[in-house]
Amino acid sequence: MSIRTKLLLSYAAMLIVPLILMLTTALLLVVAFRGDLRNVAHLYETQVEGFEEGDFQRLVHQTILRNPGLLRDQRYLDELSNEMKDQDTFLVVRVDDRNVYASAGIRPHAAVLESLPTYRHVTYQHTEHAKPFQNELYTTYQYDLLTAEGQPASLFVLTRVDPLVHLARQSFPYLFTSFLVILVLTHALLTYFMSKRIIRPLRELRRAAGEIKDGQLSRRVRVDGKDEIGQLGMAFEEMRVRLQQSLEIQKQYEANRKELVANISHDLKTPITAIRGYVDGILEGVADSPEKSEAYIRTIAAKAAQMDHLIDELFLYSKLDLNRLPFAFEPVPVGAFLADWAEELAFELEKKRVKLEAKLDLDEDLVVSVDRDSFRRVLTNVIQNSLKYMDKSEREIRLEASRQGEDIVLAIEDNGSGISAEALPFIFDRFYRADQSRNADTGGSGLGLAIAKQIMEGHGGDIRADSTLGVGTRITLLLPILLEGTDDK
């Protein structure tokens, strides 16, 4: 049985069961207090404020008619009035169109007495419910008869009716019908809206589950609300988003894997092809002199070293990418460390006729947490990348180090050929070269800056690049400060 059917049945039971119980209880009460069901239809007409027509009938037929002289018996009429006054009921006797008796409670209401109907004929009997007299309502019982002397007389019994009670009784059928209609409509609307609020989100979840099963993850799960189903919808939507992201990452990994295989194949095939060519030249006797043989062998050795370097770079990048390269972090006074490195770098660059300008504006007590060898690898890769693209007669590299907030900022700027705006966002991707020709002059593993980025992120820092084509490139390294103002190293 579906949830919707269960809800409909439960709401139907909520509607039907109370109605059956109400009707059963009402019938049982009628039977208990009325004796049978035949008087149910007359229950409204016969019961008024505790004085019934049956009482009036007994008063007239069993008392007055048997002894008409009681109509003029003041003592009897006073006793009868006293018995009726607790029920707001009053007695009036009229003989020959003249009121010969009126209960004490009704005497001050002259307008009521004057408005009583006239004598009709013997045995005339009439009941008028809730007749208005000025600002009050009275139910009037009239019975016409003859006195002992044969004079026409009318006996009136008046019962004061509360207007609100009268209105409720008068409107009871309409109120009861309205109650039933409202009850039915309320339950019907409640059933509809509640089932709609529950079933529609469940259908949406079922649709989304079917789409996910078929591999369609782009459509959003539209289930809102703060109830359990809304929370389930939010959790389902979060699951869909994460699953979509994981699949996109998996696709990206697969694309990267294919690209990696293609790049490795390209970068390894180039030196292997050269090595095979020079080996074939030696075997075929092309190197027919000791000088040529030595040149071929040196070329083969250089290409083999290039392959070895590429493999080492690739192995290092793979370990960094898989977070399998442990860093030996240690507190390092960054000012002294960079000063020593800049001194060594100046000596190496002088051999290559590259001018170095260093401006290290750092306090001696600033300490960073780094792996010395790994951080040196970052600096070396950045410098090597700058050297590859220097195309001016006077080659320069500028170092600037300073503190900015909670970070140490090291900028390495060159006056090389620069990088185009289209290529700049990709220079930290593996195997990416701004020079797509991959020639020997500007070639390399294509992993230098990618390795540098991985190491910097592993140190909790960052690496950025700014470049102007034809002017030069600026690489900025950011490292968080570990300690300051301490003499303990």
For the chain, give every domain's residue range.
51-161, 217-325, 326-483
How far apart are alpha carbons 473 and 423 in whole angstroms?
A: 12
Instruction: State the alpha helices, DSSP H only, in 284-371.
Output: 290-321, 334-351
Radius of gyration of the chain (CA): 55
pLDDT at 26 over 70: no
Q: Greater confidence, 488 or 231?
A: 231
Selected from 1.20.140.10, 3.40.50.300, 3.40.640.10, 1.10.287.130, the CATH number assigned to the domain covering 217-325 reads 1.10.287.130
The mean per-residue pLDDT over the stretch 447-459 comes to 84
The mean per-residue pLDDT over the stretch 157-168 comes to 68
Most confident of 56-65, 92-101, 323-332: 92-101
Class level of CATH domain 51-161: alpha beta
The mean per-residue pLDDT over the stretch 294-298 comes to 85
How far apart are alpha carbons 127 and 52 in whole angstroms?
A: 11
How far apart are alpha carbons 23 and 36 in whole angstroms?
A: 15
How far apart are alpha carbons 296 and 285 in whole angstroms?
A: 12
Angle between helices 172-213 and 228-283 (to 10 degrees): 10
How far apart are alpha carbons 41 and 46 in whole angstroms?
A: 10
Fold match between 51-161 and 326-483?
no
What residues contact 433, with CB distance under 8 A and at least 6 apart? 442, 443, 444, 446
How far apart are alpha carbons 426 and 416 in whole angstroms?
A: 18
Provide the pLDDT for residue 53. Answer: 55
Q: Classify burial at 88, counting beta carbons within 10 Å of its beta carbon; exposed 0-12, middle 13-18, buried 19 or more.
A: middle
The DSSP code for 332 is E
Beta bridge partners of 404: 407
Residue type, 99: N
Using 50, 70 and 90 to split pLDDT, how confident is the model at 410?
very high
pLDDT at 28 over 80: no
Q: Greater confidence, 431 or 141?
A: 141
How far apart are alpha carbons 244 and 10 in whole angstroms?
A: 39
Q: What mean pLDDT, rounded, does the chain reach?
A: 77
**Shortest CA distance to 476 belongs to which of 428, 420, 423?**
428
At 13, which helix (H) or strand (E)? helix 3-34
What residues contact 357, with CB distance under 8 A and at least 6 apart? 396, 397, 398, 399
Q: Report the topology of domain 326-483.
A: Heat Shock Protein 90 (3.30.565)
Provide the pLDDT for residue 39. Answer: 43
pLDDT at 69 over 50: yes
Using 50, 70 and 90 to split pLDDT, how confident is the model at 338?
very high
pLDDT at 365 over 50: yes
How far apart are alpha carbons 333 and 368 in whole angstroms?
A: 6
The mean per-residue pLDDT over the stretch 311-322 comes to 67
How far apart are alpha carbons 53 and 141 in whole angstroms?
A: 8
The mean per-residue pLDDT over the stretch 42-48 comes to 41
C-beta of residue 160 within 8 angstroms of C-beta of residue 137: yes
pLDDT at 259 over 90: no
Provide the pLDDT for residue 230. Answer: 73
Q: Greater confidence, 120 or 433?
A: 120
